[in-house]
Structure 1
Amino acid sequence: MTGENSMSRNAILSQYRPIRRAIQTVLAQALDACKKPDLDRAAKHLGLADDALLEDDTVFEMLRDIAQFEANQRGRRAFDGFLHGRFHPGTGRAQSRPRPAEALWSISGV
């Protein structure tokens, strides 16, 4: 990156920092979609057999990231469930889906 149009490292980082904060905010909300099996699977991938290792913030952040994005045996990721709106951010509870009978009633009632 040389020449008149290149940006300095500090200018690039100053533009990236708000993006990174936004990403971290979404990932923190998506963590509610992770269940114990997701965290256990991530710990296995990282080779974390000792709970004392989880006291290190960096190790715990890696565990959370892997738990969100590592697919389970069915090929589903916890983060995908969050993205598809099956979880309310901040509650970790699944949304109830309307039953077909309720959907038919709402269509016929129009």
Structure 2
Amino acid sequence: MGKRKELDKKVKGSTKMKSKSSEENGKLPYVHVRARRGQATDSHSLAERARREKINARMKLLRELVPGCDKIQGTALVLDEIINHVQSLQRQVEMLSMRLAAVNPRIDFNLDTLLASEVSIF
């Protein structure tokens, strides 16, 4: 039993020396923290999780804006539907501006400047 206590004292002494030498170098001793399943600990994983949450929040907003997107599953399919909807809206704006120009030819509808001024409003 005496040898066991002696060995314990040596081990404790060596760990104290290691911690002192790491403090002298200005570095804290490396402590490995084991995360539970589904919980990240390193900054890269936390930043990645925040980025994904931001993307998901914006995708949810887009789904609410575009009719019919709330029933579609999958990010790629939702984006395809959004692209189709925006292109459809662009065609509608072109058609309406052409019809308006035909009704009243004195008004000059320059679609590019009209769209540019609408974008600057938002």
TM-score by length of 2: 0.34
In terms of Rg, which structure is larger?
2
Which of structures 1 and 2 has the larger relative contact order (alpha carbons within 8 angstroms, sep 6+)? 1
TM-score by length of 1: 0.36
